[in-house]
Amino acid sequence: MAKIKIHVEYEGGWSDATLPLLCLDTGCWRSERPVVNKDTCTYCGLCALFCPTQCMIDKEEYFLPNLDYCKGCGICSRECPREAIAMVPEAEFCDDNEA
């Protein structure tokens, strides 16, 4: 008789992290992306430490942003002690297959 289909397992409001985590496509937020100069980079990792989204990937000699989640805030670029990261407008990459 009830129109509501009960698909919540518990009586109370519990969330279950064994289900897929909620995730936003924050990569599409940015208007510019960090570009790392691998030669200038000294692998200190400050970009990875200061990155709010913690999306810098450790490549064992340098770091690269995970573009799925990078919001383009620019902190990595500003904090890099070697100025090894440049913030480049997304428009420069729109001809690439994968943005």
Partner 1 sequence: MTVKAKKRNKVFDYFKAEDPFSGGLTLCPGCPLELLLRFTAKVLGKEIVFVGTPSCSATVLYGQNRQSWHKLAYYSCLMTGVASSATGITRYYRKIGKDITVVAFTGDGCSADIGFQPLSGAAERNENFIYITYDNEGYMNTGIQKSSTTPIGARTSTTPVGEARRGNPNPGKNVPFLMAMHKIPYAATATLSHLDDLAKKLIKAKEKKKEGLAYLHVFSPCPTGWGFESDMSIAVCRMAVQTHYFPLWEAERGRFRFTHKTTRPKPLTDFLEMVRKFNHLSTEEIALLVKEAEERYSLVEGMTQLWPMA
Partner 2 sequence: MITRHKEKIRTLTGNAAAAYGAMLCRPDVIALYPITPQSEVIEQLASFSADGLLDAEMVEVEGENSAINIVTSASIAGGRVFTATSSWGLAFMYDGMLQASGFRAPVVMVNVNREMPGILAVSSGQQDMTSTRDSGWIQVVAENCQEILDLVVMAYRLAEDHDVQLPVMVNYDGFYLSYLAEGVNLPSQEEVHAFLAPLKDQPPRPVLVPGEPLGSGTHGILEGFVELRFKHSTALERSKAKFDEIDALFRESFGRSYGGQIEEYRTNDAEVVLMVSGSAAGTAKAVVDSLRNKGAKVGVVKLRMFRPFPRERIVRALTGKKAIGIVDRSVSFGWNCGPLFMELKAISEEIGTVPIMDFIDGLANTDITEDHIADMIKSVQNAAKGEPFKDVTWVSLEE
Question: What residues numbered 6-45 form the site for partner 1, per CB under 8 A?
Answer: 8-9, 14-17, 19-27, 29-30, 42-45
Interaction of residue 16 with partner 2, rule CB under 8 A: yes
- CA-CA-CA-CA torsion for 77, 80, 85, 87, nearest 10 degrees? 10
**Cα–Cα distance, 13 to 72 (Å, whole number):** 35
Q: Looking at 79, 83, 89, 99, which residue binds partner 1 (CB under 8 A)? A: 79
Contacts (Cβ under 8 Å, ≥6 apart) of 89 = 31, 32
> At closest approach, how far in Å is the CB of 92 from partner 1?
18
Q: Which of 21, 23, 22, 25 is nearest to 99 (CA)?
A: 25
From the list 6-14, 37-45, 46-54, 58-66, the region that binds partner 2 by CB under 8 A is 6-14
| Residues found near partner 2 in the complex (CB under 8 A) | 2, 4, 6-8, 10-18
